[in-house]
Amino acid sequence: MIERVTKTRWIAAGVVAGVLCAAPAFAAKKAWNKSAGAGVSKATAGALTLAQAQASGTQPTDAQVASDKDQTLHAMKDEMDRSKARLQLTGVEKPFYIQFQLLDVDIREITTSFGALLASNTTRNRFMLTGVRVGDYHLDSSNFVSEEGFRGFLGAAGQVGVDHDYSSLRQDLWLSVDQAYKEALTEMSQKRAFLRSLTKPPEIDDFSKATPVVQVEPRATPDWTSRKWEDEARTASAAIRSVPNVRDSRVTYYLIYTTYYLLTSEGTEIRTSRSSAGIEGSMDAVADDGMVVSNYYSKYVKVPGDLPSAADVSASLQTAAKDLVALRASPLAPDFTGPVLFDAQASAAVLAQTLPASLSGARPPLSMLPRFDEMMQGLGGRSEWSGHVGTRVLPQGVTLVDDPTMTAYEGQPLIGGYDVDDEGVRPERVSIVENGMLRKLLMMRRPGPEFQESNGHARSALLADPKALPSNLIWQANNGLSAEDLKKKFLDSCKEDGHDWCIEVKVMDNPALSSVRQDDFSDAIGGLAAGIGSGMRLPLMTYRVYVSDGHEELLRGGILNGLTMRSLRNIQAMGKDAKVYNYFQSPAQGFAGTALGSFGSIQGGMPTSIVAPSFLLEEAEVRGFHGEPRRLPLVSPPALQFHQLQ
């Protein structure tokens, strides 16, 4: 059963939770179907049997239910039919839209440190979310932030049984949709009252219509045995032992299989399975002055078997550890304002932090909270492109496309694609910017001022509230320079500005991956939160490049300031060395759709790819470190000895 949360205010109003639809009449539950993955022919036969039982107005027998190993869709359909027919409080409007979502998640997670196995777990969870809208497509109960959101006795979201039990799931759906309907009525009442207080209420529809999609795929069965994952993880992380002065490290292998279900009262019916896998390595060290520095390694693929070998991962982790030790010994970055060159990997990360909020054409929520808009602005979550369709927003010659249907770019795998978005809409290739001019925006089923129809870009993870977000974002420049010409232009710009040296950023930081300890991550995000909306960014591998001979010197502790959408519009030059940057967007409340949303992990994140070349900014500000370093440990760390792994 799904977890119960806070008490309901409906009880005080004389309405007992669960009375709107009577509880479904089930036979006694049986301990059947403890394993997943029925054959397609059996599932089809079971569906026909259940359909016949439903058509005759009778409940399926235990034998009929047990003939189909995945009863999820059948339970969802039956409870949807009951909800559409009977879910209504006397004298109050009925729902015009009902949605059931369920996510089946299997995760194999292996964590190691310096060759030691810290944890090895296989977990399985099923999460359910019901959504109800009252009103109509023009004005409904969604997209509204009240002073206190309604939370009933039984939450509309939670965990459900993992054994595909038909009866148990119907019970959960019944209670949850009852809760969601009451919550929607409360929200609608508050929203209407708030709209009456406005001088000019918004005229944009709250919800757009979409063609129902039916896509029922076979369920994927997790395979954990294709390789010796624990041995590989231990071998890979042991490579860091040979690098001195690394204080701590974690290397985690993730193998993830999900099956997503979506059923709506409009007729959409989705069951789609996906897999993903990744390796995330974090490590840190302490400089002689007490500053903690960190580095990370990440590799993401769609299929676990495509993960690199332990030998390849070991080599990459060892390189990252050596870079970390070099960073530890490097001088502090001084304050600097002038030309800054971003290598391709760093430029893609900058785009990941800067662009997403402005790519969405969906209208932001109405809010009764006076500081809500301020908060979103401060986190970099407000669109700077809304209202600017048809104007120049990027340098001439730049094309920006988001295409969820792509699987690779010039032979480099992309991880952001999908067949149907999280609102059940087929995705479209969207040409956002053409020759520097803004043409379109990414849309979900929440309309905006310029565009009203969804183009299939509603994205979320773990059934979080979806937002219009990028999938495979491709930045192309038709006037790109060769690596040599771009470097020459960079040094010439430095010389013209009267600098003896300028800054080149090769890698941007992602505290969600580089932080070994939770408090380090909290410190990094806390420090960023105050300035990220105004363009504060965290570089990781920053170099001082001397004009005289081009030699480089690694720096630590610098922060980029003022790196905003306006900076991208004024890019001085770009390379033609476009590379793929695969990462996971965070769906967390307050992170998703903001500049902080790029700090995600494969554990609960949204797979995303950005393709971008190197670019040169004529002027950017680097602020050196001015804080107080931490105290060094009193005793030096023990020497790490390498032993043959058993």
Q: Following DSSP, what letter does each residue of 475-502 receive, concatenated?
A: EEETTPBPHHHHHHHHHHHHHHTT-SEE
DSSP letter at 371 equals: T
What does the pLDDT read at residue 70? Answer: 77
What does the pLDDT read at residue 382? Answer: 74
In Å, the largest CA–CA distance within the chain is 86
What does the pLDDT read at residue 589? Answer: 73
Q: Which CATH number fits domain 229-329: 3.40.50.1980, 3.60.15.10, 3.30.2290.10, 3.90.400.10?
A: 3.30.2290.10
H/E segment holding residue 41? helix 40-55
Q: What mean pLDDT is reported for the chain?
A: 86
Q: Which residue has the higher pLDDT, 147 or 617?
A: 617
Tell me the pLDDT tens digit for each residue of 180-197: 999 999 999 999 999 999
Q: Which residue has the higher pLDDT, 62 or 416?
A: 416
d(CA 156, CA 129): 6
CA dihedral 349, 352, 353, 359 (to 10 degrees): 160
Tell me the pLDDT tens digit for each residue of 252-281: 999 999 999 999 999 999 999 999 999 999
Domain residue ranges of the chain, discontinuous segments joined by + = 229-329, 336-623
Q: Concatenate the DSSP letters of all residues of 525-559 into one string.
A: HHHHHTTGGGT-B-EEEEEEEETTT--EEEEBS-E
The answer to whether 427 and 421 are in contact (CB under 8 A) is yes
Calculate mean pLDDT across residues 315-344.
Answer: 97
Q: Are strands 579-585 and 467-468 parallel, antiparallel or unpaired?
A: unpaired
Residue 2: φ, ψ to 5°: -75, 155
Tell me the pLDDT tens digit for each residue of 511-563: 999 999 988 888 888 878 778 878 899 999 999 999 999 999 999 999 999 99
What does the pLDDT read at residue 365? Answer: 84
Calculate mean pLDDT across residues 309-332.
Answer: 98
What does the pLDDT read at residue 372? Answer: 60
pLDDT at 164 over 90: no
What does the pLDDT read at residue 226? Answer: 86
Calculate mean pLDDT across residues 446-450.
Answer: 95
pLDDT-based confidence at residue 426 (cuts at 50, 70, 90): very high
What residues contact 50, with CB distance under 8 A and at least 6 apart? 60, 64, 65, 68, 74
Tell me the pLDDT tens digit for each residue of 468-522: 999 999 999 999 999 999 999 999 999 999 999 999 999 999 999 999 998 888 8
Nearest CA to 321 out of 248, 411, 429 is that of 248
pLDDT-based confidence at residue 55 (cuts at 50, 70, 90): very low
pLDDT at 66 over 70: no
The answer to whether 429 and 320 are in contact (CB under 8 A) is no
What does the pLDDT read at residue 7? Answer: 27
Calculate mean pLDDT across residues 139-168.
Answer: 75
pLDDT at 441 over 90: yes
What does the pLDDT read at residue 23? Answer: 55
